[in-house]
Chains A and B, each alone.
Chain A
Amino acid sequence: GQNIDQPTEMTATEGAIVQINCTYQTSGFNGLFWYQQHAGEAPTFLSYNVLDGLEEKGRFSSFLSRSKGYSYLLLKELQMKDSASYLCAVMDSNYQLIWGAGTKLIIKP
């Protein structure tokens, strides 16, 4: 079956760095997405990786290793507004998104 695993909850301190991991097993691979979702709102797009390596976009970076079925989202210089759920999603061979359950990130002052 298809499976996306990510931690349920993480806590970090304002100004620090946090890494949210995602491992996947899917039928085919056409890219991995990271989304941010604040409570009660729709997800917003953060990053897309289809080749191995690190993609940097401001305070957020995303890494992919296709051979290991592994990705992480790195958030630097954490701000209180970064408190949200972070969703990992993989596009399978049918170009449909398979979603992880999301990681709730709690930022403490």
Chain B
Amino acid sequence: GAVVSQHPSRVICKSGTSVKIECRSLDFQATTMFWYRQFPKQSLMLMATSNEGSKATYEQGVEKDKFLINHASLTLSTLTVTSAHPEDSSFYICSAQSGTGDSNTEAFFGQGTRLTVV
């Protein structure tokens, strides 16, 4: 199946710094990418949807100035956690879909990034 690569897999950063997470679709063009956050023992929570070349659509309650999403090309989307705080520590996962309006569109997931803010 298709491969989505997410980097880094783990990152520890100091409070107040920014962290960038990359999500790449390696063998297909991802017109839509999704960013999720998962707290321990909880379901995936959709943070935002990004379409190549346009601004991301953020879910209610997600701060767009804190979680900057860029989808500059059909194979790369980035999530930057700005001025990170300990409460931002979480597991962040991206997923990519190759098209829209396709009833058989499967979401391919990156490996996830474990962010720890100290």
Contacts and interface: CB of A to CB of B under 8 A. Distances in A.
A40 interface: yes
Interface residues of B, number: 26
B109 A44 contact: yes
A40 B111 CA distance: 10
Contact of A45 (B1, B103, B104): B1
B105 A91 contact: yes
A43 B106 CA distance: 13
B101 interface: yes
B85 to A, nearest CB: 22
A101 B109 contact: no
B44 interface: yes
Main secondary structure of the interface of A (DSSP, over half): loop
B99 to A, nearest CB: 9
Nearest to B94: A42
Contacts, number: 52
B107 to A, nearest CB: 6
A63 interface: no
Interface in B68-118: 91, 93, 95, 97, 100-112, 114
Interface string A37-78: 000111111001010000000000000000000000000000
Contacts of B54: none
Given A42-B112, A87-B43, 7 more contacts: A40-B112, A41-B111, A41-B112, A87-B44, A96-B34, A97-B34, A101-B42
Interface of B: 1, 6, 34, 42-44, 46, 49, 91, 93, 95, 97, 100-112, 114
